[in-house]
């Protein structure tokens, strides 16, 4: 008696085959990361007054700033000297402030100014408006899953290396 044949998934791999499923996941994740990289570059025309990397830095400061420059560097994947230089530029623009009490620049807390908070909120709105088309393409079920799944995948990817 012949064993039943499995349905084939992407790239002809058998659905339900753990190795094939893991490979499909890896392929899909790499495609998603590549698309995200391309999208990040395409977003720059949305902003005349800030670069996308500066916006990513503002967001990281908003999330981890009080933990210091090193925490911002870790979250963004940038070197501490790069973050220190970039934060200095944001300070000059009035968008961020650095706690001057610390003697070690890596440990000094960094925070958004009220102007920086307003600026970041406005830019987040621009990004949300830009991504609204993608949101509308999702079904109600996909919408319910999208944000939690993306956050979970981000955590998984962060833990890989």
3-state DSSP assignment of residue 6: coil
91-108: pLDDT as tens digits: 999 999 998 665 555 567
The number of beta carbons lying within 10 Å of the beta carbon of residue 117 is 14
Sign (positive or negative) of CA dihedral 105, 91, 58, 99: positive
Q: Note the pLDDT of residue 5.
A: 41
Q: Note the pLDDT of residue 109.
A: 87
Sign (positive or negative) of CA dihedral 22, 26, 31, 32: positive
Domain range summary for the chain, segments of one domain joined by +: 11-42, 47-161
Backbone angles phi, psi at 79, to 5 degrees: -75, 155
Q: What is the pLDDT along the chain (161 residues), one digit of tens a residue?
A: 444 444 444 455 555 666 778 899 889 888 988 888 888 778 888 888 999 889 999 999 999 978 889 999 998 989 999 999 999 999 999 999 998 665 555 567 899 999 999 999 999 999 999 889 889 999 999 999 999 999 998 888 888 86
Backbone angles phi, psi at 100, to 5 degrees: -80, -5
* Assigned CATH topology for domain 47-161: Arc Repressor Mutant, subunit A (1.10.10)
Strand boundaries in 13-157, DSSP class E: 96-98, 110-112
Question: For the CA atoms of 147, 45, 112, 110, what is the dihedral angle to 10 degrees?
Answer: 90
Q: Is the whole model's pTM more than 0.85, yes or no?
A: no
Closest CA to 66 of 109, 108, 124: 109
């Amino acid at each position: 008696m012949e064993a039943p044949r499995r349905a084939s998934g992407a790239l002809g791999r058998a659905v339900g085959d753990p190795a094939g499923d893991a490979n499909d996941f890896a392929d899909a994740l790499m495609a998603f990361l590549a698309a995200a990289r391309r999208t990040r570059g395409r977003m720059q025309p949305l902003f005349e007054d800030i670069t996308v990397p500066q916006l990513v830095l503002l967001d990281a400061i908003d999330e981890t700033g009080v933990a210091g420059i090193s925490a911002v560097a870790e979250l963004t994947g940038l070197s501490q000297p790069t973050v220190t230089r970039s934060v200095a530029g944001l300070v000059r623009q009035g968008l961020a402030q650095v706690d001057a009490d610390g003697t070690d620049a890596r440990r000094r807390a960094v925070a958004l100014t009220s102007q920086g908070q307003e600026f970041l909120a406005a830019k987040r709105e621009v990004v949300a408006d830009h991504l609204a088309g993608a949101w509308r393409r999702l079904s109600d079920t996909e919408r319910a899953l999208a944000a939690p799944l993306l956050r979970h995948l981000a955590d998984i990817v962060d833990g890989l290396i």
